Amino acid sequence: MSSSSRLSPKPAGADPEPAPSGPRRTERRYFFHPAKADPAGRRRRSPRRRVRPAALVIGFGRQYNADKRRRPVRPSAGRRRGRLPGGRRSEGEMDVSDRKAALERAIKDIERQHGKGAIMRLGERAEIKLEVVPSGSLALDIALGVGGFPRGRIIEIFGPESSGKTTVALHAIAEVQKMGGTAAFIDAEHALDPVYAERLGVNIDDLYVSQPDTGEQALDIAEALVRSGAVDIVVIDSVAALVPKAEIDGDMGDSHVGLQARLMSQALRKLAGVVSKSRTIAIFINQLREKVGVMFGNPETTPGGRALKFYASIRLDVRRAETIKQGTEMIGARTRIKVVKNKVAPPFRTADVDIIFGEGISREGDILDLAVALDLVTKSGAWYTYGDTRIGQGRENAKQYLKEHPELAEELEKLIRERHQIGGGVRLSAASDEIDAGAVDEFV
């Protein structure tokens, strides 16, 4: 049959064509029905069927519009990506040079509005290298991972009663003073012993001490000292003793729920930025409390809310492990210091130190223990030997030998620091610590 006969209309009265047998194929769609053309040969559009109004997406990413019977088009057709009508670029597409120019303009606007240095590349900062101050304990310096307490950070020291928290803080003050720095001690507990502090190496004549009456007064003094930019370390002893003024003015038994926590939260928000800007070491000593009704887990917590836990870069848990005896006399305590939080080095390291009553942390005990751990000193039975030199029989005798021979102790300490790749600190010169107080005020 020719194509013209197939397209010609059937005469009237002709029998209708039989319906095709089998299932109806609904997936195939024609844009023009071949059997419905007019006599002139022009194609007529087939009558629209009732179909779903939504677009039908069939395999290989081709999209069909069932309503308009359009030819299949790919999703990427139409307007080119990143181009607007007329060839203009969209906001999301910029040349590299345009991006750099826009960034430079934004940086200039920020510096004009907020001052020079408000934003900079991290590599452009002069103090990119972390500055540290020795803690006064060689074992603790190694546990901290950076050789001491980092400058410009907040540090929390907590633990049970008489565990050595204030001793650790006073040793840090002594090290700062040895390096030519300035120290301040805010004694909120009114329990500072100047005689004991002097035995630990603190120069009490150059130590600034404050014994405030309220928590607001203590934190205001701390903020003023840090804002001055002339103080290298500030110790607050303790957070639990920072009593809000409303509680002092009230009666015994009055409830002040969350008052101290709000006070600490506000103070730390104000101190965090200025401490970093002035590179001051802020040490908060804290006590322990127990939560009520805790059946599982550790019930211990620290007073003053949770703000200090977040703002502190280092948190030290100080606990007494055992008692040191010389014969039947108790001469000190074996103390374990655990770094439970550390933002400048890996956390959860521990340092076991000897705190001798009336003397503080034993430097010779740290050197002896670390030298044995590194095989610098050989322990055979009860004897300690360094090379061909017998240091002593028994730990206490070996410590006494190192105390009597400081040159040997310094040699061992130097080897230990080289093995652990930590330094001994540098002098806090006036040139390196010169800070514009006005800049600190503007920053805050």
* Minimum mean pLDDT range among 20-24, 133-137, 232-236, 311-315: 20-24
Q: Tell me: is residue 327 an annotated ligand-binding position.
A: no
Q: Tell me: is residue 165 an annotated ligand-binding position.
A: yes
pLDDT value of residue 90: 54
Q: Tell me: is residue 26 an annotated ligand-binding position.
A: no
Query: 19-41: per-residue pLDDT in tens?
Result: 555 555 555 554 455 555 555 55
Cα separation, 75 vs 280, whole angstroms: 60
The whole-model pTM stands at: 0.74
Residue ranges and CATH numbers for the domains of the chain are: 132-292+299-361 (3.40.50.300), 364-421 (3.30.250.10)
Average of per-residue pLDDT across 350-361:
96
Q: Tell me: is residue 137 an annotated ligand-binding position.
A: no
* Minimum mean pLDDT range among 35-39, 52-56, 270-274, 379-383: 52-56
Q: Which of 180, 188, 230 is nearest to 209 (CA)?
A: 188
Q: Tell me: is residue 78 an annotated ligand-binding position.
A: no
Q: Tell me: is residue 76 an annotated ligand-binding position.
A: no
Q: Tell me: is residue 115 an annotated ligand-binding position.
A: no
Average of per-residue pLDDT across 364-390:
94
Q: Tell me: is residue 244 an annotated ligand-binding position.
A: no
Q: What is the CA radius of gyration of the chain?
A: 39
Per the DSSP assignment, residues forming a β-bridge with 184 are 208, 234
Query: 60-73: per-residue pLDDT in tens?
Result: 444 544 444 555 55
The DSSP code for 214 is S
Q: Which of 401, 389, 371 is nearest to 138 (CA)?
A: 371
